[in-house]
Amino acid sequence: MTTRRSKKFSPKVRERAVRMRHWVRQAERDQGLRAGPTSEDRERIKALEREARELRKASTYFAQCPA
């Protein structure tokens, strides 16, 4: 038995709806209504990950320099 999927919405509309649902979930996290990282937390995590990448790159560079 095969199930047919109706194509009521275009892929573009579906993609937009998915983005909107993610936005709503993030707003709920920011308000404390849903578990998970807030927008502030996500920004801080990104900054820390960026800093860690830079430090790894610097340590690799200095490890290769002759003493």
| Predicted structure pTM score | 0.66
Per-residue confidence band for 10, with pLDDT thresholds at 50, 70 and 90:
very high
Alpha carbon distances (Å) from 2 to 5, 9, 10, 11, 59: 10, 20, 22, 22, 57
Task: Tell me which residue of 17, 49, 13, 14 sits closest to 25, measured CA to CA.
Answer: 17
Place of tokens 């990950």: 49
Place of tokens 């999927």: 5
* Dist CA 11 CA 56 (whole Å): 40
Q: What is the pLDDT of residue 3?
A: 65
| pLDDT, tens digit, 9 for 90 and up, residues 12-66 | 999 999 999 999 999 999 999 999 999 999 999 999 999 999 999 999 988 887 7
Query: What letter represents residue 8's amino acid?
Result: K
